[in-house]
A and B are shown apart, each in its own frame.
Chain A
Amino acid sequence: QGSTPRAISIVPQAAPVAVFKLTQDFNNDQFPNKVNLGVGAYRTDEGQPWVLPVVKKVEKIIVHDDRLNHEYLPILGLPEFRSSASKIVLGDNSPAILENRVGAVQCLGGTGALKIGAEFLRRFYNGSNNTKTPIYVSAPTWENHNAVFSSAGFEDVRPYRYWDAEKRGLDLAGFLGDLESCPEHSVFVLHACAHNPTGTDPTQEQWKQIAEVMMRRKLFAFFDSAYQGFASGSLEKDAWAVRYFVSSGFEMFCAQSFSKNFGLYNERVGNLTVVARDADNLKRVLSQMEKVVRITWSNPPSQGARIVTITLTSPELFSEWQENVKTMANRVLLMRSQLKAKLQALGTPGTWDHITDQIGMFSFTGLNPKQVEYLVKEKHIYLMASGRINMCGLTTKNIDYVAESIHEAVTKVQ
């Protein structure tokens, strides 16, 4: 059957992406009280996906608007989307925006924004096609960061110290130490807020220290902002670090995702915000990014961008969106405080303050691999081997079972 030049016969089976395998195993599990604390998607208190009410409203508007068609968007995306999305992270009155030195590329989700930024940096940053520029990602970080930068051609993707497992918090000394000792012009991928997977963010004072070293040592700031609004419930608060860096004069990138804060996961809505020294530099940068986009996906999908744009540019819908975002953030905060309270009430060994100190969708519980295995195999509670749990997987109905199971795991398994 078929004469393939021995071409494909040597293709090895690739390992599945861990987080998706976890969900697959969860789906196959027949246990009635199973709990999925794996994949990072919001769930309601009924454990269901949630299409934001404002999104439903806007989708109806779109479907009934006969003036809309399915024509190609420009290569860089829907212009109103790009500008309103950048305003969300930088603030309407950002001096950089007023100085006409902010631009953006509509991309396929946060991943797509990271990708276009990475491809641009590989071609034009720190020389020409300098694949040896070190790219620093936090230890630990979202598992796809590594692959995005290495597939863009960077040969040297390294960790910077971040999570202190012993004290279950930020290893600031290690972080600053790596910033001081790394090669000049290294690129640092910074989580704007709600660090994935640890949920541990630098404080404002700590961000200032980080910025000071980065500016002095001429390091490139590439922010990954996937949870704006989702972390604290406040858009402004969650964008503080990004805005501080901008006001400090950095030229930088910020990859924005609207997957979580708009619940638009499968529409692939993202924005790469570019802050440049001036309008002329910005223009040239965008023109080159356009070339990268053209050979990757030509132009981005319109549906998700339309939904976001219509929402952000209508005062009424914008308010409604903010309320929807607060709903999600507040439910997560509630689950955090309840989980901690229950563990404390059970007298579970150890301290559990980190559950409420951490922010966003994820919590690094501090459970070790054996304890994680116990939870998965014996209690049918699915979480990442790292001990990361998705707080959204907790509900008022399963939180007792989860707290008791964690208690069991910690007391029985060392």
Chain B
Amino acid sequence: RLCLNQTSVFSLSVYYTHLLWCSSWWGGVQMGPPDPILGVTEAFKKDTNPKKMNLGVGAYRDDQGKPFVLSCVRKAEAIIAAKQLDKEYLPIGGLAEFSKACAQLALGPENEVLKSSRSVTVQTISGTGSLRIGANFLARFHPGPHDVYLPKPSWGNHTPIFRDAGMQLKAYRYYEPSTCGFDFKGALDDISKIPEQSIILLHACAHNPTGVDPRPEQWKEIADIVKKRNLLVFFDMAYQGFASGDIDRDAWAVRHFIENGHNIVLSQSFAKNMGLYGERVGGFTVVCKDAEEAKRVESQLKILIRPIYSNPPVNGARIAATILNTPELRSLWLEEVHGMANRIIKMREQLVAGLKKNGSSHNWQHVIDQIGMFCFTGLKPEQVERLTKEFSVYMTKDGRISMAGVTSGNVGYLADAIHAVTK
């Protein structure tokens, strides 16, 4: 006997409708290509060669090739744990003591901008989140051309971030392949032709992917020409402290531009210099005309943030703030950052020494001249492919290697491999 009550009538009708219409909403969705940078690590993980090397993503490794948790971070975590803090929502703009310390780190605590409160800094989801908020802000409020000029080449994720925010991407010459160095003349030439009020993005230090930075005298000339063209400067500083080992030296360009009268916007990341990658710690700063303008800008940044993630995660920001605001931890941090930068510098020297020893006829000076986590080797795509296929050395197609993945234990192998594909 069939008993159909209301309940089963409904279920059946839904079920039969479903049967009649069994296709998917997503039939037309294509498979997205693997991320060019993060995809390298995926491939590396699958490789069974014991000598394999991951020189892809820019995450620091110690001389044993292991992830490095800074002591100052562990100490800060212990301090925070002892405080038994609650888990209430942060304000939309983030942890106030973090934002303040973040701005001071970049600008220097005595900076006139901070003293007159004419900037706003919001906590962001690391560097990516900062660039995204910045891009959205410019898309909504920048009255000049919505053209963002990136150095050629730039970090792979810059383009899709700005594009998705509705900006157009253009480029200025930057890297000179024939010298593996800075194309200063080309850069000045291109910048001098950028239409007024456009946006120019500058890597504050340790340019990614090339490791090629302008010298201070060159920065001065760039600042002058940018001023002449009346461009809005967007600084991306993801490696403060990590480049030279000295946080003030690495922030020199940012501070010079501000002194020179540019009201910049600035993205900062603490992923690398504090090893807080997965905690997503960053900041976005807008230097304004005065305190009143800064308040208006802050209110609009909050409007942009709220529909993306409401308010930022506390853990990493609290660690960073504790480190920056506790004198002993801050000193310890500066030492450890110096240590990381030094290890990278040493690996650069050892790699070049190894190549020379192998009898390489090429000039590898650029490996030492370049700065920061990355090295633009100058290797061509075919050579990169051989390195990966024959030697299990993983890097991005553009010939970029992360020096952080090089250790005293494997630098010899790397020198052999590079020599083999370039001789």
The answer to whether B23 has its CB under 8 Å from any CB of chain A is yes
Report the separation of the CA atoms of residues A285 and B310 in the bound assembly, to the nearest whole angstrom. 25
A211, A276, A301 interface centre (most CB from chain B within 10 Å):
A301
Interface-facing stretch out of B125-133, B178-186, B331-339, B403-411:
B125-133
**B11–A264 CB distance below 8 A:** no
A15 contact set on B, CB distance < 8 A = 299
Smallest CB gap from B13: residue in A: A212
Once bound together, how far apart are the Cα atoms of A2 and B260, in whole Å?
8
Assess the A298–B141 pair: CB atoms within 8 A. Answer: no
Instruction: Point out which of B10, B59, B132 has the most chain A C-beta atoms below 10 A from its C-beta.
Output: B10
Q: Which of A4-12, A168-176, A319-327, A386-394 is near enough to bind chain B?
A: A4-12
Contact residue among B24, B118, B309 (Cβ-Cβ distance under 8 Å from A251) = B24
Tell me which residues across on chain B come within 8 A of A285, comparing CB atoms.
26, 29
**B81 (CB) vs chain A CBs: closest residue:** A63
Binds A, one of B273-281, B348-356, B368-376: B273-281
B249 at the A interface (CB under 8 A)? no
Contact of A220 among B25, B29, B84, B261 (CB under 8 A): B25
Report which of A5, A128, A248, A288 forms a contact with B144, defined as CB distance below 8 A.
A5
Q: Does B288 have its Cβ within 8 Å of any Cβ on chain A?
A: yes
CB of A1 within 8 A of CB of B118, answer yes
Partner of B286, one of A8, A144, A294: A8
Q: Kindly specify which of A66-74, A83-91, A350-358 makes contact with the partner chain.
A: A66-74
Residues of B close to A12: CB separation below 8 A: 296, 300
Give the distance to chain B from A92, nearest Cβ to Cβ, in Å. Answer: 22
Residues on the B chain within 8 Å of A4, using CB: 232, 263, 288-289
Nearest chain-A residue to B258 (Cβ)?
A2
Interface stretch of the complex, out of A106-114, A366-374, A397-405, A406-414: A106-114
Q: Interface stretch among A25-33, A265-273, A331-339?
A: A265-273
| Cβ contacts A146-180/B at 8 Å (1 or 0 each) | 01101110000000000000000000000000000
Q: Point out the residues of chain B lying under 8 angstroms from A259, CB to CB.
A: 89
Q: Is A284 an interface residue (CB 8 A)?
A: yes
Known A1-B290, A70-B279, A115-B307: A75·B38 in contact at CB below 8 Å: yes
- A268 interface neighbour in B196, B295, B307, B309, Cβ under 8 Å: B309
List of B residues within 8 angstroms of A283 by Cβ: 31
Give the most central of B90, B310, B311: most A CB within 10 Å: B310
Tell me the smallest distance from the CB of A121 to a CB of chain B, in Å: 9
Question: A72 touching B278 by the CB < 8 A rule?
Answer: yes
A9 surroundings in chain B (CB, below 8 A): 289, 293
When C-beta atoms are compared, the residue in chain B nearest to A55 turns out to be B87
The answer to whether A277 and B26 have CB atoms under 8 Å apart is yes
Measured CA separation A272–B197 after assembly (Å): 40
Contact A248 B311 (CB under 8 A): no
**Is A8's CB under 8 angstroms from B26's CB?**
no
CB–CB A17/B24 < 8 A: no
* Chain A contacts for B89, CB-based, 8 A: 39, 41, 259, 265-266
B6, B84, B86: most-surrounded residue (chain A CB, <10 A): B86
- A249–B15 CB distance below 8 A: yes
Q: Considering the complex, which residues of chain A in the window 216-252 have a beta carbon less than 8 Å from any beta carbon of chain B? A: 216, 218, 220, 248-251
Whether B31 contacts A287 by the Cβ 8 Å rule is yes
Known: A4-B263, A51-B86. A108 touches B309 (CB 8 A): yes
Contact of B126 among A69, A290, A298 (CB under 8 A): A298
Bound together, the chains give a CA A265 to CA B84 distance in angstroms of 15
- Cα(A15)–Cα(B257), bound, Å: 32
Cβ of A315 < 8 Å from any Cβ of B? no
* Known contacts A266-B87, A266-B90, A287-B32: A277-B24 contact under CB 8 Å: yes
B314 at the interface (CB under 8 A from A): yes
Q: Which residues of B contact A69 (CB under 8 A)?
A: 67, 69
Given A17-B306, A251-B25, are A2 and B87 neighbors across the interface (CB < 8 Å)? no
A49-B86, A108-B313 are contacts. A297–B277 as well, Cβ < 8 Å? no
Residue numbers of A with Cβ under 8 A of B are 1-17, 20, 39, 41, 48-51, 55-56, 59-60, 63, 69-75, 107-109, 111-112, 115, 124-125, 128, 144, 147-148, 150-152, 205, 208-209, 211-212, 215-216, 218, 220, 248-251, 259, 263-268, 276-278, 281, 283-285, 287-288, 290-291, 294-304
15 A-B contacts (beta carbon < 8 Å): A1-B118, A5-B197, A8-B297, A12-B296, A51-B86, A55-B87, A56-B84, A70-B73, A70-B277, A109-B309, A147-B307, A248-B15, A281-B27, A296-B132, A301-B279
3 closest residue pairs by CB, A with B: A249-B18, A277-B24, A108-B309
Chain B residues proximal to chain A, CB less than 8 Å: 6-7, 10-11, 13-15, 17-19, 21-32, 35, 38, 57, 59, 67, 69, 73, 77-78, 81, 84, 86-92, 112, 116, 118, 125-129, 132, 141-144, 157, 160-161, 164, 196-197, 227, 230-232, 258, 261-263, 271, 275-280, 286-290, 293, 295-297, 299-300, 302-304, 306-316
